[in-house]
Amino acid sequence: MLRAAHFKLIAIVSIFVTILSVVGLTVLVVLWHKKLSPFQDYALVVDAGSTHSKIFLYTWPADKSDGLGETSRITQVKACNVPGGAITSISDPTLANAKEYFDSAMSDCISEIPSTRKSRAYIFLGGTAGLRLFNMSNSSYTNSLLASTRAYFSTLGVLIKAPESQVRIISGSEEGLSGWISTNILMGQLFENNKPFDTYGVSDMGGASTQISFISPNATNDRFDMTLFDTQYDLYSHSYLCYGTEQLRLLHLGQLVNKANGSLRIDEPCLQYGYLQNLTYDNIFNTPCAQNQYAPLSSLDTSSKFTFVGLGNSTRCSVLIQERLNESVCTSTTCSFNNVYQPKPISASLKFIAISAWYTTFQNLAPNVSLSPDQDGNFNFSKVNFSQIKAAINAICNQPWSDQLPPKDQYRPFLCFNSMYHWTLLEYGYSMNDTNLRNFQIVKKINSNDIGWTLGFMINQTNTISAEFRPTRLITQSEFAGLLFLCLLVLIASAIISGLAVRFCARRQGY
């Protein structure tokens, strides 16, 4: 028969085993984090836009264990806004001025990178349409600006192996393709699905340019072949520089001035009825887009000030915008406008998402279409046709400015032009119809994520970054799982035995 001394010994041994089990579990957890879980890689991507710059910090497992093939999924760690406006606010592009512009935001983002991973963290900067326009008018300035930025980045202690390719003005097509990747990874069509014809086409509208990208294996021009997550995607993508909303309106106004026979007071059919807008010669023509057929007449006085009188005439406005989307010449098999090749027709089964300025414009037009956003704030056009949208545009163009109650929205007078341009581009420029509209959405966010080109750009870049694996492991993952189970089993058993033994000893002492 077991005596009290025996139970004390059992209790002591059981407690000791319990402590050993806890120590064993602790060692296994440390081992998992230090030896079995992959290293994390990091990268900084700077979006140098036309109005501001923003830095994004991304991370992914260095061994690409969460991806397929050479492509890894990535996670955004942080986003840091660069104060001071666009990168072109650096008037004198020196290293010191680049440092002053970037430093506070860059330090904020870089502080999130573990010191042991910083030297392997890549950095990229992509200049978009705003810098593409600057490069058209002053390439020596943009070259100096990029050179000073590269020099500053080289002082940060991050990886800049190929400065010329890591800090550059990206092409419009690359911006469009990157936006296509961002949209489709967030919509679950890449990695989870990997069926090219299930992907979404994407139309991205900015202030200086607009892009369209969609799957098209038979495209004969502007075709891009990409391998993502072990799947081949054959895409058509084209960017129209100077066809962003803001730049096209300047071209539109410039044409009205050129046809006004010297008058300084000019009727503007695309401006809200009764609204007056005063602009100088430089306001209209001081853009690289105002060249060739859009160049100002030599007879114009460069000190002129023009007053545009809003007519709110949607019919005339539609005609004028169609003139900017010239379809009279096409030297390819099929074209969109301005002799630009585009595969046609766009399949009615192809799902399409429109982003950026598409959203900011349509959310103001939507009440006139009687279309409400879904729970994410996005708009689905499955039950809407072009006639309904045209009727809504006609209503907002014709509404007198004097009927607007204070406080008056400063952007409301331009809703007529912006809406007419967007929907004319879709129907007349891209040749979409009511059947296409059934699979069309205008989206601000996907699963609470803003949509931009940087996410897709970085996903594509992981194809070129070599995987890094931990050194030879002390144990395999299956061995780790076995030891973890054994330690937990011993811990539970020893804890139960210890508890029973201590309880028995306490009872014996009470007699």
Check if the beta carbon of residue 105 is closer than 8 Å to that of residue 83: yes
Check if the beta carbon of residue 210 is closer than 8 Å to that of residue 204: yes
For residue 468, indicate whether it is catalytic. no
d(CA 99, CA 82): 11
Is position 211 annotated in a ligand binding site?
A: yes
375 phi and psi angles, rounded to 5 deg: -65, -20
Distances from the Cα of 415 to the Cα of 123, 397, 426, 496, angstroms: 38, 8, 16, 73
Measured in whole angstroms, the distance separating CA 143 from the mean position of its chain's CA atoms is 25
- Among 174, 175, 268, 427, which one carries the catalytic annotation? 175
> What DSSP assignment string belongs to 15-55?
HHHHHHHHHHHHHHHHHIIIIISPPEEEEEEEEE-SS-EEE
Residues 6+ apart with CB under 8 A from 130: 48, 49, 50, 51, 86, 88, 207, 208
d(CA 77, CA 59): 7
Residues 6+ apart with CB under 8 A from 162: none
Check if the beta carbon of residue 173 is closer than 8 Å to that of residue 222: yes
Tokens 């007198």 found at:
400
Is position 210 annotated in a ligand binding site?
A: yes
Tokens 């962003």 found at:
244
DSSP secondary structure letter of residue 71: B
d(CA 414, CA 271): 6
Is position 207 annotated in a ligand binding site?
A: yes
Closest CA to 58 of 467, 458, 464, 463: 458
Residues 6+ apart with CB under 8 A from 312: 269, 271, 272, 273, 274, 397, 398, 399, 400, 416
Structure tokens at 456: 């897709």
Beta-strand ranges (E) seen in 247-376 are 265-268, 276-280, 305-310, 351-356
Structure tokens at 429: 């420029």
| Residues designated catalytic | 175
Binding residues for ATP: 207-211
